[in-house]
Structure 1
């Protein structure tokens, strides 16, 4: 369906759940090299139906849309990891600061 929508509309509607690790050869990396010619469906009838929809847009155009989606998801994942790492560092800094204050109070109490 996203083949008929603009990129922003499609990205808001896609919920991608990655199975497995994405370290160079994972799902997102494979989607970045997606080619509909290398795909198949369990049901040949379903495959024919899906290919008719894809052909309405064009297979090359569809491939590009899937690859672009994967690239955008990869960037979003990277930003999310960077944000998570940043939050972790803030927590650790805060924890270390609190820990130092507690140690100082313990020394004063002795």
Structure 2
């Protein structure tokens, strides 16, 4: 499995909007990917979110992502997502992993 982990900070008063965007985005992704995704919210810093997404493999992820990124709806959702980020913490960290073992 290919795993993407994202970390970012969402404004506390915009959490519902964030979750709505993630739901819409997931529906679009489901048209192209076989994936599983988890959203984690920090207990220490309420603005901090971690997104863990698992895909079949990296090749399939890259092929489908190119198609998805051309979708106008995804571009619009990403702009809204960016507006939800905490000012001063607006960077999105992204890391790639290979899943080696699952219980």
TM-score range, shorter chain: under 0.3
More strand, by proportion: 2
More helix, by proportion: 1
Could you tell me the TM-score, scaled by structure 1's length? 0.26
Could you tell me the TM-score, scaled by structure 2's length? 0.27
More contact order relative to length (CA 8 Å, sep ≥ 6): 2
